[in-house]
A = this chain, B = another copy of it.
Amino acid sequence: MALATTDMTMARAAGEEVANKRVILKRYVTTGFPTEDHMEVVAGTARLDVPPGSAAVVLRNLYLSCDPYASARMTKQEQPSFIESFVLGEALENFGVSKVIASGHPDFKIGDLVWGITGWEEYTLISNPESLFKIKHPELPLSYYTGVLGMPGLTAWAGIFDVAKPKKGDCVFVSAALGAVGQVAGQLAKLRGCYVVGSAGSDDKVNLLKTKLGFDEAFNYKKEKDLNAALKRCFPQGIDIYFENVGGATLDAVLLNMRQYGRIPLCGMISQYYLEQPEGVRQLVQAITKRVRLEGFLVFDYFGQYRKFEEEMAWYLKEGKICYIEDIADGLEKAPAALIGLFSGRNVGKQLVAVALE
Interface residues of A (CB under 8 A from B): 81-82, 247, 251, 266-269, 272-273, 277-298, 301
Residue from A292, A296, A301 having most chain B Cβ neighbours under 10 A? A296
What residues of B have a CB within 8 angstroms of the CB of A268 in the complex?
288
| Bound-complex Cα distance A295 to B82 (A) | 23
Q: A280-B280, A282-B277 are in contact. Are A294 and B295 (CB under 8 A)?
A: yes
| Bound-complex Cα distance A251 to B282 (A) | 12
What residues of B have a CB within 8 angstroms of the CB of A272 in the complex?
285
| Bound-complex Cα distance A284 to B280 (A) | 9
Q: A293-B294, A295-B293, A296-B289 are in contact. Are A284 and B269 (CB under 8 A)?
A: yes
Q: Are B288 and A269 in contact (CB under 8 A)?
A: yes
What residues of B have a CB within 8 angstroms of the CB of A266 in the complex?
284, 287-288
Q: Are B247 and A284 in contact (CB under 8 A)?
A: yes
Q: Are B81 and A284 in contact (CB under 8 A)?
A: no
Main secondary structure of the interface of A (DSSP, over half): loop
Q: Smallest Cβ distance from A180 to chain B, in angstroms?
A: 16
Q: Smallest Cβ distance from A134 to chain B, in angstroms?
A: 28
| Bound-complex Cα distance A13 to B219 (A) | 69
Q: Are B282 and A279 in contact (CB under 8 A)?
A: yes
| Bound-complex Cα distance A268 to B279 (A) | 22
What residues of B have a CB within 8 angstroms of the CB of A294 in the complex?
284, 287, 293-295
Q: Are A288 and B267 in contact (CB under 8 A)?
A: yes
In the complex, which of the residues B81, B284, B286 contacts A289, with contact meaning CB atoms closer than 8 Å? B81
In the complex, which of the residues B278, B284, B286, B295 contacts A285, with contact meaning CB atoms closer than 8 Å? B278
What residues of B have a CB within 8 angstroms of the CB of A288 in the complex?
266-269, 296-298
What residues of B have a CB within 8 angstroms of the CB of A280 in the complex?
279-282
| Bound-complex Cα distance A284 to B285 (A) | 14
Q: Smallest Cβ distance from A121 to chain B, in angstroms?
A: 27
What residues of B have a CB within 8 angstroms of the CB of A290 in the complex?
296
What residues of B have a CB within 8 angstroms of the CB of A285 in the complex?
247, 269, 272-273, 278
7 further contact pairs, Cβ within 8 A, besides A278-B285, A281-B282, A289-B298: A247-B285, A273-B285, A288-B296, A288-B297, A288-B298, A292-B295, A295-B295
